[in-house]
């Protein structure tokens, strides 16, 4: 009889607890015997993860981790309405404790234009070298950490097309740097800019063929791979410079500049030819090479009619800018 009473009291207390505000969770041990996947319901897709110890001669210091998750966000774009892209992210990394570099990882992304399409074959798939990533604005932004004096590489994948639009360097000594954006007010027109220097953890084919290459300037829309231009310095090795800051600079009375600017002179214009009267400003930090200190330099590259104009850039002696033949 006492056992029955205890069961009744427990049931009553549980019912009352559901109607009260939850209390802070108490510390608890690791849950065991949980399945990797749940039974699929109509329109459902599963994403199992795994953690595996890898033995080595020094003991078990290496791990192989596969993490999978789904990401959904809301995009609101002029004339296109609202959409909810869905991503399936698979991070495959091998970890080595005590090494110079902690992880070697790739990220595979599969995308649907709408979360309502879950359960169908994803229309796009891309794999990139990166350690971590997250949704950022219209992109999935992946980070590949540099080791020693290398700069982190930032890869921007468009959420709707799956295209790698930009691969850029993180600005030196700045953890929260973003690629610059220029917008036309009351219009759907917008453009982005990026710069990839030779200090970044990415192999540059142009730099492999020419030691004077400093980096790759990028300009374009968020939906397609950006147009790329090779920046070169003839005064020494290209790695004498690394990215300090990148921004748009508008030719107006206020000298508007920054990483998020409006082009008011084209207010309401939807024609790309209206994208004129501004430049991309590249500040490069000189490095000490062969016991020689190289001075910092800021370059201004004009954009006229939505096209970068290398031939009109007022570059110092020894500097040149040209379209990239490799598409780096």
d(CA 247, CA 259): 5
Q: What is the pLDDT of residue 8?
A: 43
Residues in the chain: 328
pTM confidence score: 0.82
Give mean pLDDT, residues 11-39: 37
What's the token pair of residue 243? 């990215």
* C-beta of residue 282 within 8 angstroms of C-beta of residue 298: yes
* C-beta of residue 181 within 8 angstroms of C-beta of residue 192: yes
d(CA 26, CA 140): 35
pLDDT digits (tens, 9 = 90+) for 195-240: 999 999 888 888 889 999 999 999 999 999 999 999 999 999 999 9
pLDDT band of residue 59 (cuts 50, 70, 90) is low
Give mean pLDDT, residues 14-43: 39
Question: Sheet harboring 190-197: ordered strands across?
Answer: 260-262, 181-183, 190-197, 213-220, 227-233, 319-323
């Amino acid at each position: 009889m006492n056992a029955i009473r205890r069961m009744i009291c427990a049931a009553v207390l549980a019912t009352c607890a559901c109607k009260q505000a939850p209390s802070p969770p108490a510390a608890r041990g690791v849950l065991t015997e949980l399945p990797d996947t749940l039974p699929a319901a109509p329109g459902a897709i599963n994403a199992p993860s795994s953690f595996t110890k890898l033995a080595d001669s020094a003991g078990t210091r290496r791990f192989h981790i596969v993490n999978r998750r789904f990401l959904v966000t809301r995009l609101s774009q002029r004339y296109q309405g609202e959409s909810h892209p869905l991503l399936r992210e698979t991070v495959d990394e091998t970890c080595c404790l005590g090494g110079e570099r902690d992880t070697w990882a790739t990220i595979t992304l599969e995308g649907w234009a709408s979360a309502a399409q879950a359960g169908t074959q994803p229309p796009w798939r891309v794999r990139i070298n990166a350690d971590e990533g997250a949704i950022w604005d219209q992109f999935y932004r992946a980070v590949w950490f540099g080791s020693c004096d290398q700069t982190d590489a930032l890869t921007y994948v468009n959420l709707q097309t799956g295209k790698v639009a930009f691969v850029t360097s993180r600005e030196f000594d700045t953890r929260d740097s973003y690629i610059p954006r220029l917008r036309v007010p009351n219009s759907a027109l917008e453009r982005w800019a990026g710069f990839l220097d030779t200090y970044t953890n990415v192999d540059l084919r142009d730099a492999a063929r020419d030691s004077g290459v400093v980096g790759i300037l990028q300009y374009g829309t968020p939906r397609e791979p950006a147009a790329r231009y090779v920046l070169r310095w003839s005064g020494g090795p290209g790695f004498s410079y690394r990215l300090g800051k990148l921004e748009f600079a508008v030719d107006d009375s206020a000298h508007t500049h920054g990483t998020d600017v409006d082009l008011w002179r084209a207010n309401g214009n939807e024609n790309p030819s209206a994208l004129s009267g501004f430049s991309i400003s590249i500040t490069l930090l000189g490095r000490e090479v062969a016991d020689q200190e190289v001075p910092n330099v800021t370059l201004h590259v004009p954009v006229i009619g939505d096209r970068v104009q290398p031939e009109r850039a007022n570059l110092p002696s020894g500097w040149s800018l040209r379209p990239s033949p490799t598409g780096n």
